[in-house]
Amino acid sequence: MNSHPELPRSPGKIIAVHTAFESRAAQRGRRPKQPSYFLKAGSSVSTSGSKVERPAGTELLAFEGEIALVIGRPAHRIRLDEAWDHVGWVTASNDLGIYDYRAQDKGSNIRSKSRDGYTPLGPELIDAREVSPRELRIRTWINGELSQESGTSDEEMIFPLEQFVADLAQHMTLEVGDVILTGTPAGSTVVQPGDVIEIEVDAAGGQTSGRLVTTIVEGPGDFDESLGMLPNVDDKQTEEAWGSREAAGLPADPNALPEELRAKLLEAPTAGLSAELRKRGLNQVSIEGVHPQTPGTKMVGVAKTLRFLPGREDLFKSHGGGYNAQKQAFDAVRSGEVLVIEARNEPGSGTLGDILALRAKHLGAAGIVTDGGVRDYTAVKEIGLPVFTQGPHPAVLGRKHVPWEADVAVACGNATVIPGDIIVGDDDGVIVIPRDLAESVVDATLTKERQDEWVAERVAEGNPVDGLFPPTGKWKQDYEEWLKSTAPQSR
């Protein structure tokens, strides 16, 4: 190991971890079961004090304060318990990225994260021999205000730092000077030209990387469309870059239910709502065959839809992998929406699992309804998101289904569901309410519920149901008098 180390100016490899901190996973709603990675160009390295350009015409440049591991001894096919011995030094890093190019990169992050200067490192190296990988701390300041802070204890990390070294060394030789960026904690957000980012890594023994200082400046953005894609932003990337819809300044969803209507729907039972819809001539409004994972669940939300086709090997090959329609739908679900999945009443394969349920929960989904099966059934239940399904099944999606399209009319449990319909679920099942009927249906339901409660009290007193259920004659007069006596008094 070099006794007089210098910061790598152009490492042979810069390997970045997608998600490693528990706080970041909670913020994003995606907790990986195993680490995953992407590469950054060696030419993206810059030093403390550098100015980094945000190209003109882009708006979503986000910082990510990270702990960088610098390889000090070649590593190939090593054990986990010896992995830290191959780390020479630890320092601070900033995994900068332009979300305007994130969707176009489709996970490679080449254009979004490998621009010149987009991997600041330093300023000093901490000898890995003198620190514990469980006792490091990273902090990030934006214009002097603390934005990120986390340690590397087992409670704070999804994976221990040395796991990245051992895992990567299974597949390639890590050489001296290679850099591993180990993910960022919660708090990453958008920065603007003129902002100053400071990142510091320190250890329990007092060792420190010093503050890595980067200033954001405006740079040229004359992208040539004839050569490649132009930058583009949408609500999804804007929200992800800022960390939340509120922080991004995005307007409230226009399809969201008014709070007063939502409160009434939460109070109304599906049995009563179904009866009122039947009075209006709507009989095919029950999603058949689905049950709540947790008894006592009440679910109210606006329908977002996802459709699966019957399994076919050639179609699954073209539509089942990568960022398919299923993943896109779960990534795009909005607060207050219920994701309704058409699986053709086929429970013989999972239509979602714990990772997708966690993503929907983080995004504020009101629930999920699938007339198929659910994988990771217990883990999904523990997430606490209302889920109505035919039941558990261990098989992956491709056994029975091809993810095909989202935001279209679907047939779930023999009921037609249109995006924007209102979905209500409880222990009796799930029903679909056309948006334009919701107010009148729920008001009539609650009125009928009040009457039924009065009738139940009379029956409990020993009265027969003839003429009482529903009230007629004298019983009707008694009920109307009771209504008058309990009505709010006007001043």
Which backbone phi and psi does 214 adopt, to 5 degrees?
Answer: -135, 135
Each residue of 139-189: pLDDT tens digit?
Answer: 999 999 999 999 999 999 999 999 999 999 999 999 999 999 999 999 999
pLDDT above 90 for 250: no
Taking alpha carbons only, the member of 344, 304, 299, 312 closest to residue 328 is: 304
Any idea of the CA torsion for 204, 207, 210, 211, to the nearest 10 degrees? -10
What is residue 177's predicted lDDT score, i.e. its pLDDT? 96
H or E element that contains 125: strand 119-127
pLDDT above 60 for 3: no
CA-based R_g, the chain, Å: 28
What is residue 489's predicted lDDT score, i.e. its pLDDT? 55
pLDDT-based confidence at 1, cuts 50/70/90?
very low
What is residue 356's predicted lDDT score, i.e. its pLDDT? 94
pLDDT above 60 for 60: yes
Gap between the Cα atoms of 22 and 233, Å rounded: 27
Of the chain, the percentage scoring pLDDT greater than 70 comes to 98
Tokens at 406, concatenated? 């989202």
Q: Which DSSP string do the residues of 378-392 spell out, in sequence order?
A: HHHHHHT--EEESEE
Gap between the Cα atoms of 135 and 33, Å rounded: 23
Q: Please report the domains of the chain, with CATH numbers, ordered by start residue.
A: 14-248 (3.90.850.10), 259-439 (3.50.30.40), 461-491 (no CATH)
Gap between the Cα atoms of 138 and 93, Å rounded: 10
End-to-end CA distance of the chain: 87
Chain mean position to CA 448:
39
Taking alpha carbons only, the member of 114, 107, 102, 117 closest to residue 49 is: 117
Gap between the Cα atoms of 138 and 124, Å rounded: 14
Q: Which residues are annotated as a binding site for Mg(2+)?
A: 376
- Tell me the mean pLDDT in the region 66-75: 97
| 237: helix, strand or coil | helix
Gap between the Cα atoms of 133 and 346, Å rounded: 48
Q: Would you say the C-alpha torsion 23, 234, 359, 263 has a positive or negative sign?
A: positive
pLDDT-based confidence at 2, cuts 50/70/90?
very low
Each residue of 256-294: pLDDT tens digit?
Answer: 898 999 999 999 999 999 999 999 999 999 999 999 999
Taking alpha carbons only, the member of 331, 307, 319 closest to residue 409 is: 307
Model pTM score: 0.62
Q: Do the Cβ atoms of 208 and 202 come closer than 8 Å?
A: yes
- Tell me the mean pLDDT in the region 29-48: 91
Of the chain, the percentage scoring pLDDT greater than 90 comes to 79
Q: Which residues are annotated as a binding site for substrate?
A: 353-356, 375
Gap between the Cα atoms of 91 and 128, Å rounded: 10
Q: Which residues are annotated as a binding site?
A: 353-356, 375-376
Gap between the Cα atoms of 489 and 450, Å rounded: 18
**Strands of 196-203's sheet, edge to edge?**
50-55, 212-219, 196-203, 136-142, 145-151
Any idea of the CA torsion for 231, 237, 243, 244, to the nearest 10 degrees? 130
